């Protein structure tokens, strides 16, 4: 059961109706976005159970806080921010971290026509390794790199939702990126690598 | 110039958030290690952005759970609104009664004063 995509205009109309108290409109928004929200939640938590809890909490907060949504950002971006905040709170509450295997059902191959098969295979391999590498990051680093590099949230929003300073968000992003590069391209390690965060070189 | 002086900025260069000064740029143009590093950062960034369009499929039970939660929250909210409406009416009634009682007391007091 996947999300039911709706056009941006339709989303705006649904948001407007939901803001004025129409619960069926909010439910339509949930149907349209829950798979995306779940995807972000699982990327942030690295765990299916945690992701389910985060999704529930996210929509509950969104429902209660919808009147505060002024529409200056997209609804999806607003929802991502709530998801990030919920995941942060959730992970903070549960000081444990489990790693689940990646599901084989996830489409990872670039199916666009005209893409060279070898190039496609390389991309697929990189994305597979990347997903594992992201999952292996400490939650604090993972949250920042996922929100910035996958979901394109500004540093300011990331800092706000994670309850950290913008400088801290930038430092974490820098560390996360360095770690990912070290894990994905271990043959190429510059002299600065391995410094801080325990060093990936020693961890491999 | 050594590689480590620019290594920290290469990821930022890859996503356009950092700009190298002239010396650093000249170094990267001549250094194969840094060029490879930059290529790797760009590849990772591209792969990360491609992940944005991927959607992981939650188990079928999640949507009904979320909808039930919203319904429950909606009902609770409706009850709260109803109760707060009643509370307002109740407080309004009390205020009206107190005003009437006050007015009555004033009338009685003035009559009493006139009689005496």
Helices (H), chain B: 3-15, 22-30, 32-51, 62-115
Chain B positions touching A103 (Cβ under 8 A) are 56-57
Q: Is the pLDDT of residue A108 over 50?
A: no
Interface of A with B in 85-144 (CB under 8 A): 103, 105-108, 110, 123, 126-127, 130-131
Per the model's pLDDT, the better-predicted residue between A97 and A32 turns out to be: A32
A26·B70 Cβ contact <8 A: yes
* pLDDT at res. B105: 77
* pLDDT at res. B89: 67
Domain borders along chain B are: 3-51, 59-115
Q: How far is B90 from chain A (nearest CA, A)?
A: 25
Least confident of A87-91, A159-163, B85-89: B85-89
* 3-state SS, residue A60: helix
Structure tokens at A118: 């070898």
Burial-class residue A140 by CB neighbours within 10 Å (0-12, 13-18, 19+).
middle
* pLDDT at res. A195: 37
The answer to whether the beta carbons of residues B3 and A169 sit under 8 Å apart is: no
Q: Is the pLDDT of residue A188 over 80?
A: no
Give the number of A-B residue pairs with CB atoms closer than 8 Å: 127
Least confident of A11-25, A122-136, B49-63, B99-113: B99-113
Best CA proximity match to A149, nearest among A132, A168, A130: A130
Least confident of A181-185, B3-7, B45-49: B3-7
* pLDDT at res. A180: 94
Q: Is the pLDDT of residue A159 over 90?
A: yes
Per the model's pLDDT, the better-predicted residue between B37 and B112 turns out to be: B37
Instruction: Provide DSSP, A61-83.
Output: HHHHHGGG--SSS-HHHHHHHHH
Question: Among partner residues B36, B43, B62, which is closest to A52 by beta-carbon distance?
Answer: B62
Q: Is the pLDDT of residue A121 over 80?
A: yes
């Amino acid at each position: 059961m996947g999300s039911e995509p709706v056009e941006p205009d339709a989303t705006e109309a649904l948001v407007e109706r939901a803001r004025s108290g129409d619960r069926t409109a909010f439910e339509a928004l949930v149907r349209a976005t829950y798979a995306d929200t779940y995807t972000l939640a699982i990327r942030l938590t690295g765990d299916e159970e945690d992701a389910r809890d985060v999704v529930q909490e996210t929509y509950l907060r969104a429902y209660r806080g919808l009147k505060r949504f002024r529409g200056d950002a997209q609804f999806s971006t607003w929802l991502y921010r709530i998801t990030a905040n919920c995941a942060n709170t959730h992970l903070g509450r549960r000081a444990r971290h489990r790693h689940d295997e990646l599901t084989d059902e996830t489409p990872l191959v670039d199916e666009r026509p005209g893409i060279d098969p070898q190039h496609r295979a390389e991309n697929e391999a990189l994305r597979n390794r990347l997903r594992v590498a992201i999952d292996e990051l400490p939650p604090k680093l993972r949250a920042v790199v996922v929100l910035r590099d996958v979901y394109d949230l500004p540093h300011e929003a990331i800092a706000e939702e994670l309850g950290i300073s913008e400088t801290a968000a930038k430092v974490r992003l820098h560390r996360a990126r360095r770690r990912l590069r070290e894990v994905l391209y271990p043959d190429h390690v510059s002299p600065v690598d391995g410094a801080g965060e325990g060093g990936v070189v020693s961890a491999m | 110039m050594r590689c480590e002086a620019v290594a920290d900025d290469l990821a930022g260069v890859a996503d356009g958030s950092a700009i190298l000064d002239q010396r650093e740029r000249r170094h990267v143009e001549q250094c194969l290690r840094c060029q490879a590093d930059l290529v790797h950062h760009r590849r990772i960034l591209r792969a990360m952005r491609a992940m944005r369009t991927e959607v992981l499929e939650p188990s079928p039970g999640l949507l009904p759970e979320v909808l039930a939660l919203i319904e429950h929250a909606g009902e609770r909210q409706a009850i709260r609104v109803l109760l707060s409406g009643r509370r307002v009416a109740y407080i309004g009634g009390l205020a009206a009664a107190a005003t009437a009682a006050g007015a009555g007391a004033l009338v009685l007091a003035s009559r009493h004063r006139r009689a005496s």
